[in-house]
Amino acid sequence: MATRTIELDGRSLTAAALMTLAQGDARIALAPAALAQVRRAADFLSEQVRRGEPIYGVTTGFGSNADKLLGAHRARDELPGGNPDPRAGGLPEELQHNLIVTHAVCTGEPFAPEVVRAMLVIRINTLLRGHSGIRAETLQALAELFNRGVVPVIPQLGSVGASGDLAPLSHLAIVLLGGGEAFHAGERLPGATALRRAGLQPVRLSYKEGLALNNGTAQMLACAVLALDRLQRLATTADLAAAMTLEAFAGRGSAFRADVHALRPHPGQVACAAHLRELLDGSTLIDIPYHLVPRFATWTAQAWHEPEDQAVHFDIAWDWVPAHRRHGREAFYTRFLPFRGGKKHQPQDAYSLRCIPQVHGAVRDALAQAARVLDIELNAVTDNPLLFPDRAGARVIEDRVVSAGHFHGMPLALAMSYVKAAIPVLASISERRIAKLVDAATNDGLPAFLAGNEDATDSGFMIVQYTAAALVNDLASRAHPASVYSIPTSANAEDHVSMGANEARQVLAMCEPLEQVLALELYTAAQALDYRRDMLNAARRLARRGDWRVLAAKIGGAPEAGHPQHAQFEQEVRALMRALAEASEFHPGPAVAEALQRIRAEVAFMPRDRAMDGDIARMLALVRRGGI
């Protein structure tokens, strides 16, 4: 049982507090001042009913039945064969009861418990504002439902996002009445049984209480908050995966400079660039000279002779650029030695590396916009009609009981549409980096598919990119915004709806494939980074032995002894040897190195093909639990 208590007052609920409650790590308490306002509104509503005032959803029907006033007695009791139920309450009570039991019509698999707990908290919090007419004792019963671990079974499909999440919230409320189904202590039970086991009694609804319970945006908001919490962590994970890939490419760091991004200061872009600088700080791989980077060559038994190199599972190579091929490039070869290894001679990296701040940053901005909307909605009143019992100068009932449209989910729907479009963008650029890492034509000297493949039997990481491509396609096919496709309901009384519940539910579901793509990039980047670091350090060890001929044996295009250019070749190989020997040990920055170490604690480097399913399962678990 949770020991921590979080007080709800209708005005100060945060996303962080909601996440704590959704995970079942705290109980809720109701602020006394808020409950006083709840009682004030309920008393006001009872007084208006006593006076015979016509009030939507209290003394009238709902939706297209809003023009029907409740009578003094049940007309159906006068029908032939009518059999009045002496236990039944009045028509206003029956109206609220029937609203819940007839609207609980969702289909599909149940929502996860954390979604339902979040819905409960959101609904309780908004009702505490005291504009809904619910009685304090009904609201306290709803809070006890949460505190005693009763989790209503809410199928996922059935809300159009206006008039609120009517159907799913009815599944939530029906358990309070002793109907429906609920989970309790991990067991799926009839609602009445779950209440009894939790020591609770069913509630009989009073004026407007059914409408207060099911008319709001709690499902879409719960899904959105849970999704955003996960996506904000995945945006940080994406930066780390990108940084590890950059290290594996021995990439260029100038594209992330603070003064560069000050010229186009989108907040997410600036923050992402700063994060990358932090992750790459201390690296000796970023911005190293082109000529120091060897390219992979297939291992042979003759590749290495020194005892300390016997475990090396690769060979390394460069090509020498002779003097007659340097014409017009003299300035370049003044700065860099004339050797072509793995790193291409170009001042900029591919877009998937160079434009990380612009792409990841735009995704961050989409999440920030959604967070702004959700923060408002968490403490908003979202049912209808709204009660203003203390409004001064009110002359008629309509001045203090106002029918409006706060149940309409379009603010959330459009925010989630923006996020929905951003998710495949983040996955797509990650997959492009995976594709570059495994392709020998684009990976700047790493082995094809990141496998030594000495005997031509290894596929290496080839199919990892296939899986990433399939996941990206799946995400892209889900990215169509639900919010642009309204289907009128309730005999056209509700003629424009938001579909925000579908939008938020789909965004929450899309988090997992994105998580999988990022895990695959980290898995691939770790393999590539090990290769890059080990190849560079092997070259450094070779150079520090001081024998230029041993180093020269790794260089193609060398002129033979006695050739006019041989002396120049020797001089330039010696220069390469000195540059490598004087270099510090090649390593990623401390942050990336720590991430690599945590990956290697779960998944070993793969020198040759092995079953990868266990590796990938462990990588997914590592990313999912925030282990890096």
513 Ramachandran zone, left/alpha/beta (phi>0; psi -120 to 50): alpha
**Which residues are catalytically annotated?**
56
Which residues, including other chains, have CB under 8 Å from residue 150's CB and lie 6 or more apart?
175, 182, 183, 184, 194, 195, 198, 200
Among the listed residues 375, 380, 438, 430, the one whose alpha carbon sits nearest the alpha carbon of residue 405: 380
Helices (H) and strands (E) in the chain, counts: 21, 13
DSSP per position, 145-164: HHHTT-EE--EEE---SSSS
Whether the CB-CB separation of 489 and 496 falls below 8 Å is answered with no
Among the listed residues 532, 530, 540, 535, the one whose alpha carbon sits nearest the alpha carbon of residue 585: 540
Q: What is the distance between the alpha carbons of residues 368 and 362, in angstroms, rounded to a whole number?
A: 10
Residues 430, 431, 434: CA angle, nearest 5 degrees: 95
Whether the CB-CB separation of 359 and 269 falls below 8 Å is answered with no
Whether the CB-CB separation of 45 and 58 falls below 8 Å is answered with yes
Whether the CB-CB separation of 443 and 436 falls below 8 Å is answered with yes
Q: How many CA within 13 A on the CB side of residue 542?
A: 29
Number of CB atoms found within 10 A of residue 239's CB? 23
Whether the CB-CB separation of 529 and 588 falls below 8 Å is answered with yes
Alpha helices in 439-587 (DSSP H): 462-478, 500-544, 548-552, 566-582
Place of tokens 């209440």: 195
Q: What is the distance between the alpha carbons of residues 399 and 214, in angstroms, rounded to a whole number?
A: 24
Token pair recorded at residue 101: 């039991």
Q: What is the distance between the alpha carbons of residues 18 and 230, in angstroms, rounded to a whole number?
A: 13
Residues 177, 182, 186: CA angle, nearest 5 degrees: 150
**Distance in angstroms between the alpha carbons of the first and the last residue of the chain:** 29
Token pair recorded at residue 79: 């029908």
Q: What is the distance between the alpha carbons of residues 615 and 9, in angstroms, rounded to a whole number?
A: 47
- β-strands 315-320, 555-556 pairing: parallel
Token pair recorded at residue 222: 């719960």
Number of CB atoms found within 10 A of residue 125's CB? 25
Among the listed residues 304, 317, 300, the one whose alpha carbon sits nearest the alpha carbon of residue 453: 300
* 358 DSSP 8-state letter: H
| Residue 357: cis peptide before it, omega within 30 degrees of 0 | no
Place of tokens 């990433």: 468
Token pair recorded at residue 316: 């390394």
